[in-house]
Amino acid sequence: MDPITAGFAIAKFALPALGKWIFGDDGEAVANEVVDVAQKVTGAKDPQQALTMLQQNPEMVLEFQRQAQQIQIKLIEAETEQLRQVNETMRAEYTSDDKYVKRWRPTFGYVMAFTWAVQICGTVGGILYAIMAQPSNAGEILTAVGQVNAAMVTMWAVGLSVIGVSVWKRSDDKKLAAGQSSGLGIVEAIASRIAVPGKS
Between helix 47-56 and helix 58-95 the angle, nearest 10°, is 110
Domain borders along the chain are 3-92+186-193, 99-177
> 70: closest CA among 45, 22, 34?
34
- Please, which pLDDT band fits residue 95 given cuts at 50, 70 and 90? low
Task: Name the strand (E) or helix (H) holding 161.
Answer: helix 153-177
Four-point Cα dihedral 89, 90, 95, 98, nearest 10:
80
What pLDDT score was predicted for residue 186? 44
Cα dihedral sign, 175-180-186-191: negative
SS3 at position 93: helix
Summarize pLDDT for 45-77 with one digit per residue, the tens. Answer: 898 888 899 899 889 989 998 988 888 888 888
Q: Which among 112, 88, 95, 99 has a CA at the least distance from the CA of 165?
A: 112
- Buried b / exposed e over 159-193, threshold 16 CB at 10 Å, is beeeeeeeeeeeebbeebeeeeeeeeeeeeebeeb
What is the tens place of the pLDDT at every residue in 142-167? 888 888 888 888 778 888 887 777 77
Mean of the per-residue pLDDT values of the chain: 78
Instruction: Compute the average pLDDT of residues 78-99.
Output: 73
CA atoms of 8 and 31, how far apart (whole Å): 7
pLDDT over threshold 60, residue 84: yes
pLDDT at residue 10 is higher than 70: yes
